[in-house]
Amino acid sequence: MKLEARVGFPDRDVDLDLAVAAGRTLALLGPNGAGKSTLLASVAGLLRPAAGRITLDDRALYSHNGSDDASWVPPHARGVALLAQEARLFPHLSVLDNVAFGPRSAGMPRGRAREVAHDWLTQVDAGEFAERRPSALSGGQAQRVAIARALATEPHLLLLDEPLSALDVDSAPAIRQLLRRVLEGRTTILVTHDILDAVLLADDVAVLEAGRVVEQGPTARVLTRPTSRFAARIAGLNLVRGTAHGTTVTTSTGLHVEGLSDDPLPDGAAAVAVFSPSAVGVYRQAPAGSPRNVVHARVTELEPHGHQVRVHTAHLSADVTPAAVAELDLAPGAEVVLTVKASEVAVYAA
Ligand SMILES: Nc1ncnc2c1ncn2[C@@H]1O[C@H](COP(=O)(O)OP(=O)(O)OP(=O)(O)O)[C@@H](O)[C@H]1O
């Protein structure tokens, strides 16, 4: 089913508008406090927006038009399942009864509900734990059971709130693989801080910043041609925002970055210049006679990055070899000149 959600919380300065197409997974990305949990809780029915409208296909789960005639479907009647960071299984029930709980609550006879629970446990490779209590499961095993419990209710919409973040590094990859399998064809919203989750699990990505959706689109597009600084950072790219003049982007502080553009941009249009840290050269003094983009900056941090060292400055990053770090005597506070060839910079509308 297709989800459309417009939710407004003036007291939180949150005003979000997004949609998830039927059968697709949308990853919600954004810094702390961006509004991801607020959106999830609103869709689950745990939080009531001050304004907006939430629909699953044609069914309104919540609507409010400024007067008193709001419609409100309670959480249990929404057909929405929420999977949290921790499995939160009922401690006094066996694993099997945990999974059978949803179908039983929906009126399914006990024997049939247990059969359904068995099927789901088998599908998540947790059949062997059926008779155990949750206290006898590892974190990864418990999360498998929680996935089975969520899916056994046959939800129209699945909400995943950082489902891998509480797992240790050894069990997360297997659960990620499992999610990849079970999310296929299900309408899902996935809140994550992990770029790997977005790449492996999500068809689309929405980036939230300060209570607003700042960009939304297919995952591959957002990660290769980001228009927000947050998306650029998680994609490992430099992004300079400003206005276009030809194929040059000029920032509000007067920095000019020239690049290449597929489509001509109207003069003065909002635009970004995007380039990889590996395309950035680092010098102590401006190289003579260079046609490149040149930016004066100060090193803020050095960070290992594969076999390279990522040199961070206030707005841009560069990847250099460890030998170059030694040769240039780079350290936080060092003044540097960064260069990038126009042919390495993509300029497009933001
Ligand atoms: N219970 C609350 N009462 C009032 N304001 C809140 C409450 N919970 C969150 N907020 C505010 O709402 C805004 C959105 O917060 P939210 O928790 O949705 O962000 P988030 O993207 O989920 O962040 P995180 O990644 O840290 O979980 C923030 O400004 C936050 O301070």
- Read off the DSSP letter of residue 328: T
Q: Mapping DSSP to helix (H, G, I), strand (E, B) and coil, where does residue 167 land?
A: coil
Closest CA to 297 of 313, 282, 310, 274: 313
- Over 80: is that where the pLDDT of 191 sits? yes
Overall average pLDDT of the 99-128 stretch: 94
Print the SS3 string covering 66-109: CCCCCEECCHHHCCEEEECCCCCCCCCCCHHHHHHHHHHHCCCC
Whose tokens are 């974190």? That residue is 139
Q: Name which residue sits closest to atom 8 of ligand 1, judged by CA.
A: 38
- Over 70: is that where the pLDDT of 76 sits? yes
Integer Cα distance of 225 and 349 in angstroms: 10
- Read off the DSSP letter of residue 264: P
14 lines ligand 1 (CB under 6 A): yes
35 lines ligand 1 (CB under 6 A): yes
Cα angle 261-262-265, degrees, rounded to a multiple of 5: 60
Q: Name which residue sits closest to atom 5 of ligand 1, judged by CA.
A: 12
Cα 94 to middle of ligand 1, angstroms: 34
Burial class (CB in 10 A: 0-12, 13-18, 19+), 256: middle
Phi-psi region of 253 (alpha: psi -120 to 50; beta: other; left: phi over 0): alpha
Instruction: Tell me what ipTM this predicted complex has.
Output: 0.95
Whose tokens are 């891998």? That residue is 164
206 lines ligand 1 (CB under 6 A): no
How confident is the model at residue 270, as a pLDDT?
A: 96
Domain 236-349 has CATH 3.40.50.150: no
Helix %, strand %, coil % of the chain (to 5):
30, 35, 35
Torsion angle in degrees (nearest 10) through CA of 135, 138, 139, 141: -100
- What are the tokens at 55? 């629909």
Cα 38 to middle of ligand 1, angstroms: 6
Closest CA to 213 of 24, 51, 6: 6
Cα angle 114-117-122, degrees, rounded to a multiple of 5: 130
How confident is the model at residue 66, as a pLDDT?
A: 62
Cα 255 to middle of ligand 1, angstroms: 34
37 lines ligand 1 (CB under 6 A): yes
103 lines ligand 1 (CB under 6 A): no
- What are the tokens at 45? 């029915």
- What are the tokens at 257? 């970055």
Report yes or no on whether pTM surpasses 0.80.
yes
Buried-exposed string 124-152: b where 16+ CB fall within 10 A, e elsewhere = bebeebbeebbeebeebbbbbbbbbbbbb
Query: Given pLDDT bands bounded at 50, 70 and 90, which one contains residue 20?
Result: very high
How confident is the model at residue 71, as a pLDDT?
A: 85
Domain ranges across the chain: 3-224, 236-349
Cα 194 to middle of ligand 1, angstroms: 19
Query: Given pLDDT bands bounded at 50, 70 and 90, which one contains residue 59?
Result: very high
CATH, domain 3-224, list 3.20.20.70, 3.40.50.720, 3.40.50.10540, 3.40.50.300: 3.40.50.300
Q: Name which residue sits closest to atom 3 of ligand 1, judged by CA.
A: 12
Q: How many percent of the chain have pLDDT more than 90?
A: 84
Cα 27 to middle of ligand 1, angstroms: 18
Overall average pLDDT of the 198-218 stretch: 95
The more confidently predicted of residues 79 and 263 is 79
Quick one: which atom of ligand 1 is closest to the CA of 208?
21
Cα 153 to middle of ligand 1, angstroms: 28
Burial class (CB in 10 A: 0-12, 13-18, 19+), 333: exposed
Q: Name which residue sits closest to atom 4 of ligand 1, judged by CA.
A: 12
Overall average pLDDT of the 257-263 stretch: 93
- Residue 139 host element (H or E): helix 139-151
- Over 60: is that where the pLDDT of 68 sits? no
Quick one: which atom of ligand 1 is closest to the CA of 193?
25
- Residue 198 host element (H or E): helix 195-201
Cα angle 213-214-215, degrees, rounded to a multiple of 5: 95
Amino acid found at 41? A
Overall average pLDDT of the 227-233 stretch: 92
151 lines ligand 1 (CB under 6 A): no
84 lines ligand 1 (CB under 6 A): no
The predicted-structure confidence for 264-319, as pLDDT tens digits, reads as follows: 899 999 999 999 999 999 999 988 876 679 999 999 999 999 999 999 999 899 99
Overall average pLDDT of the 135-157 stretch: 93
Integer Cα distance of 58 and 34 in angstroms: 28
Overall average pLDDT of the 19-48 stretch: 96
12 lines ligand 1 (CB under 6 A): yes
- Over 60: is that where the pLDDT of 69 sits? no
